[in-house]
Structure 1
């Protein structure tokens, strides 16, 4: 039997008493790369670069707060007993759906205030968002989160996974299915698909890059969430699966209705 290697250290480095976690570094890297790509696409469409920076200044704190509140709300019995840990996001415990909802609400308000085309901004941001989500899952990897059922080392080896991933999947003395990896690969595939197709003439109407992102991400998340053993629950229901179904259905309905009516029902004109 192969020897078990110690898990990777989730702390990247220390600045005096401050611990800098890989989780935060990875999330920040995804955000920066997403911003760079969004700015480039925005320039092609005539959207001022400053609009993306200004939006991000509002979206990041709102998304973090919403992601944490979402997580805490569905783990309230624990945090009610440990209120001092509510702010400890450096230990993990933020929910991507909470961040997406917070970022979306912020964008709606921001576009209304700046008189920007909401659908256009969503189309620009959504491919880079799913890329950032794929990167962010590696923060879960460093924290040994977002895992699946107990499995064997042999089963992980059979998936042709590198040893450093297999070793990190030894959690609490048992090997786990790397659902973080499955979702990351699904997100990167969605990013590649959207980047390849979004400029094809007559393929997407305005707003449909974003709607395709919602459909792609929600479908994958629904399936992968069903493999996880650390899901947030509401009774017997996995919250992320429920939201995935709601978002998937809503995106499909909106796309069909907009195609049939040939109108943009929710739209602010650019300056």
Structure 2
């Protein structure tokens, strides 16, 4: 039987550098680069983007861990020493996104920035970072689905090295990491192709598109995974949250589109334009 790919990219004495960390870092760096490029076009300072990254990353990590621990409290209440042992695994992307959103809101209020505009700038870059990050799960052989056959995987026309890595625990598994990654790539491409069209998006609506696209796909992918967090019975936390986010984003979009005078996305940072005139 084929050996799994080594999750450790580099070892220097006792120091181990994992592919997971390298892949996540690459996703974050690409997201920062794309966000800075777009921010300049929308009259948002590069410094604001870098400050948001510096503030949101640690809180995103804390949020991701807190979310996971909260829904696995039955275990962690009996093993409190493991709560901070993040190196043993156990983080949730929804927790990271919620914590990051709170940091964005606070920062934008303190610096007189439109939170909707900033979220619009960040949304597609976060989506591509998520798509890349799922390959860290691939290297760790985690976030996979139920048992399947090699014939099924071959029928997906995916490379053999992916099929080999999906042999986990004595059986081939559904590559749910791949499904979510591809879904996010498609969403990223669509948003990037249409967000600069005139009178298409008002500020906030690029973000709502991201939320609805991601939550819709995550709902179905989560239903295939074998490592889900559960609320009660067979109710998966991420599926419930996906429904709430999708409905919530759609409702706010409709309300703001017809009941508020939100500026168009392409108008950018109106405060900066006013200050420049002065």
- Fold match by TM threshold 0.5: yes
Q: Is the 8 A contact 2:202 2:262 kept in 1?
A: no
Matched, 1:135 2:129: no
Gaps of 5+ in 1: none
Partner of 2:158: 161
**Residue 259 (structure 1) aligns with:** 257
CA contact (8 A) 1:92 1:140 kept: no
Deviation at 1:86, TM superposition (A): 2.7
> Does the 8 Å CA contact 2:4/2:165 hold for their aligned counterparts?
yes
TM-score by length of 1: 0.94
Which of 11, 17, 20 is the matching residue for 2:17?
20
User: Residues 100-179 of structure 1 correspond to what in structure 2 (within 5 A)?
Assistant: 100-179=97-176
Q: CA deviation at 1:143?
A: 1.1
What's the secondary structure of 2:37's corresponding residue? helix
1:76-114 CA-to-partner distances (Å, cap 9, x unmatched) read 223334333333333432100000001000000010111
Unaligned 5+ runs, structure 2: 264-268, 273-278
> TM-score w.r.t. structure 2 length?
0.92
Q: Which residue of 1 aligns with 2:229?
A: 232
Q: Which residue of 1 aligns with 2:217?
A: 220
* Corresponding residue for residue 10 of structure 1: 7
Given that residues 167 and 173 in structure 2 are in contact (C-alpha distance below 8 angstroms), is that contact kept between their aligned partners in structure 1? yes
Alignment partner, residue 195 of structure 1: 192
In structure 2, distance between residues paired with 1:169 and 1:137: 14
1:164 deviation in Å? 0.9
Moved beyond 4 Å, runs of 4+: none
Aligned to 1:61: 58
Find the counterpart in structure 1 of residue 26 from structure 2.
29
Q: Kindly report which structure 2 residues correspond to 1:206-217, keeping only aligned pairs within 5 A, or say none.
A: 206-217=203-214
